[in-house]
A and B are shown apart, each in its own frame.
Chain A
Amino acid sequence: MTKRKMFFRMIVASLMRRRSRMLVALLSIAIGATVLSGLVTIYYDVPRQMGAEFRNYGANMIFTAADKDFTLEDVNQGAAQISKSDIVGIAPYRYENVRINESPVVAAATDMEGAKAASPYWSVDGEWPSAPEQLLVGANVAESYRLKTGSYITVSYTPDLESAEDGEVVQDNFIDFEITGILDTGGSEEDYVYMSLEDMEKLTGEAGNIDVAELSISAQSDQLTAYMNKINSNVSTVNARLVKRVTASETTVLTKLQALVLLVTIVVLALTMICVATTMTAVVAERRKEIGLRKAIGASDGSIIKEFMGESMLLGFIGGVLGSVLGFIFAQEVSVNVFSSSISFKPLLVPITIIVSIAVTGLSSLMPVKSATEIDPALVLKGE
């Protein structure tokens, strides 16, 4: 048998045959590794989780016309500069003055699915329009004209008089719309009526320009700025801007939250080290006689350190493996309960947790093990 084999046989025997003692040490290491791994997972997942939360507050980027013409094609070209996985929703808006019961109202034509995704805080009493000639009416408009979900109204549009030839009689265009829902946002959106871009084209008789496009993008401030600069330099027809009040507050909250999690992680790391060091000190203290015996039969200080460090590092390894698994479960529970969404597994965290666990256990054991080498075999073996 080689010395190495005997070394591992002794370490494994110590862990396996002193199970109750070692379980206490293992428990303290595994709990530390679990909390540590869980917190680090949360730390790295907070931007993603909070980013998704922030997307509930609406668009964080605006496209406007860079020159005269600004079409849906231009919006799509601008959006193509953004990673598809980051786009939560794109809502292009075309505003026109229309009339309801001969009174002027602003109509906004948009892509309903895009608007729904870009502005998840919009509350619709009824249904979103999903077919041609369906209308979503702002709450203020509905109140002014006593409009109700399910009723029909005629929306008329007067074409541009300047483009009419002399003597030509300009006729109003009109469409009968079914009101599918009343929009409640608490903001200026309640003053408009919403229809599809196709209905607007039909009503006005022209394709027309997009006035503004609102984009909801799942990215942090730096990435958003990078996207904005990329679009402004690559797509000449689009002027991209960030919605500062959303992006700035998002960055502030994220920075503070991450700092908090980092602080808690550091505190937990320190507590783990103290806990493991205390446990290892107790483990070494109760083995004073054994250390004395080993020294008496010829063990050098180096051998004693190697054996005890080997034991504690093996404990650290097992604790790290347990901590990686339990930490993910812990982070998952926190994420589901706090953010209502599951967390993504980060494979790199497994070796990192194991290495940190081994390092923490090793460092915590170093002092008690070093003091163990100072044990005088003669005193220990006196026979008491």
Chain B
Amino acid sequence: MALLELKNIYKIYGELHALDNVSLKVEKGEWVSIMGPSGSGKSTMMNIIGCMDKPTKGEVLLDGVDISKENAKNLTAIRRDKIGLIFQQFHLVNYLTAVENVMLAQYYHSMPDEKEAMEALERVGLADRAKHLPSQLSGGEQQRVCVARALINYPEIILADEPTGNLDEANEAVVVDLFHKLHNEGTTLIVVTHDPEVAEVAQRTLVLRSGRLAKEVVNENFTGQIHFNE
């Protein structure tokens, strides 16, 4: 059984079909990229998979449970227990230190554990920056804190929306390398991007156009490593 399955999903705003009969399956431990130009429905799909929105029609099965029928309270619980979110704008709480930002996810999930939060920061190479506020960290470092926060509760899926959109090449490589490590540890990754270099690193790339799934590319030479074009 697939970890995530979208069955004939529609998201309709008046006349606009943001998602138009989209179906896809993501297996456990798979690394999938979703690409497409602006307005193609990437963010809408991300919101639906991330339990922050519901489809107008269709089913969304996460771990066998149809989340499209759940109420807001249950969706919050699913988001908290099963999904780790990474954003383009990082979205860290600006008055909490790096380690406190990681502990925030633990606080809502179960029990804050500073030692475990420090270990998560160590995994992303930021142990020495744990007591720094977001304003004292570079963009790349902030995104790594965001990754540490996303993985701290061992989610079923890590959902990343344009995770490298605000990063330079060096930091982009660091973040993709982190994804590679997570993938190797068996984490399921769904990365929404319009950067082809980031998308091509994944095992599979889905291309959206005008709300429809236009193309699916399987990366035969999957290595999980990014190679920048000269």
Chain A positions near chain B (C-beta within 8 angstroms): 1-3, 5-7, 9-10, 13-14, 17-18, 289-290, 293-301, 303, 376-378, 381-383
Contact B111 A297 (CB under 8 A): no
Number of A-B contacts (CB under 8 A): 83
Query: Which residue of A1, A18, A303 contacts B112 across the interface (Cβ within 8 Å)?
Result: A1
Q: Which residues of A contact B52 (CB under 8 A)?
A: 296, 376-378, 381
Q: How far is the CA of A376 from the CA of B51 in the complex (A)?
A: 11
Contact A14 B95 (CB under 8 A): yes
Contact B95 A297 (CB under 8 A): no
Residue of B nearest to A378 (CB): B52
Given contacts A13-B96, A294-B108, A300-B73, 10 further A-B contacts (CB under 8 A): A6-B107, A7-B107, A17-B95, A294-B93, A297-B80, A298-B76, A383-B87, A383-B88, A383-B161, A383-B162
Q: A17-B133, A383-B161 are in contact. Are A10 and B43 (CB under 8 A)?
A: no
Q: How far is the CB of A190 from chain B (nearest CB, A)?
A: 76
Contact B93 A290 (CB under 8 A): yes
Interface residues in B54-105 (C-beta closer than 8 Å to A): 73, 76-77, 79-81, 85, 87-89, 91, 93-97, 100, 103-105
Q: Which residues of B contact A382 (CB under 8 A)?
A: 43
Interface residues in B162-209 (C-beta closer than 8 Å to A): 162, 165
Q: Which residues of B contact A383 (CB under 8 A)?
A: 87-89, 161-162, 165
Residue of B nearest to A21 (CB): B95
Contact B96 A297 (CB under 8 A): no
B149 within 8 A of A: yes
Q: How far is the CB of B102 from chain A (nearest CB, A)?
A: 11
Residue of A nearest to B106 (CB): A6
Query: Which residue of B47, B96, B113 contacts A378 across the interface (Cβ within 8 Å)?
Result: B47
Q: Which residues of A contact B161 (CB under 8 A)?
A: 381, 383
Q: Which residues of B contact A290 (CB under 8 A)?
A: 93-94
Q: In the A-B complex, list the 10 residue pairs whose CB atoms are closest, starting with the nearest.
A: A298-B80, A17-B95, A378-B52, A298-B108, A6-B112, A378-B47, A293-B91, A1-B112, A6-B107, A299-B108
Q: Which residues of A contact B114 (CB under 8 A)?
A: 1
Cβ proximity bits B112-150 to A, threshold 8 Å, 1 near / 0 not: 111000000000000000000100000000000000010
